[in-house]
Amino acid sequence: GAVVSQHPSRVICKSGTSVKIECRSLDFQATTMFWYRQFPKKSLMLMATSNEGSKATYEQGVEKDKFLINHASLTLSTLTVTSAHPEDSSFYICSARDHRTYNEQFFGPGTRLTVL
């Protein structure tokens, strides 16, 4: 099956710093990747849709300048949390759509961000 990796799996940073999270599709090309955020004991909230070679589409209420998304290749999308604050602490999950299987989204293992 299709494999999606995320790096890092855990990151702890100081308030005010920026953190970059990578999402890679390892054995397929992903024209579309999605970034989700999940608070403890809560559901997944879609933050943005990332299309290769174009600007990401952000969901309502998600700050574009805060959460920078880049999808420079068919196998890599990055999410940068800029000037992180404690309220940005969360579990971030990416998924990648396999164009061969139309509606199938494959999820990465997630990145747990803690901002001190």
Query: How far is residue 55's CA from residue 8's CA, in Å, rounded to a whole number?
Result: 23
Q: Which residue has the tokens 């970034």?
A: 35
Residue 1, helix vs strand vs coil: coil
Q: Does the footprint of another protein cover residue 5 (CB under 8 A)?
A: no
Residues in region 43-72 near another protein by CB under 8 A: 43-44, 46, 49
Q: Does the footprint of another protein cover residue 91 (CB under 8 A)?
A: yes
Q: How many CB atoms lie within 10 A of CB 43?
A: 7
Residue with Cβ nearer another protein (31 or 80)? 31
Q: Does the footprint of another protein cover residue 35 (CB under 8 A)?
A: no
Counting residues that bind another protein (by CB under 8 A) gives 22
Closest to 110 in 3D by CA, of 100, 99, 95, 89: 95
User: Considering only 21-29, 39-47, 62-70, 71-79, which stretch makes contact with another protein by CB under 8 A?
Assistant: 39-47
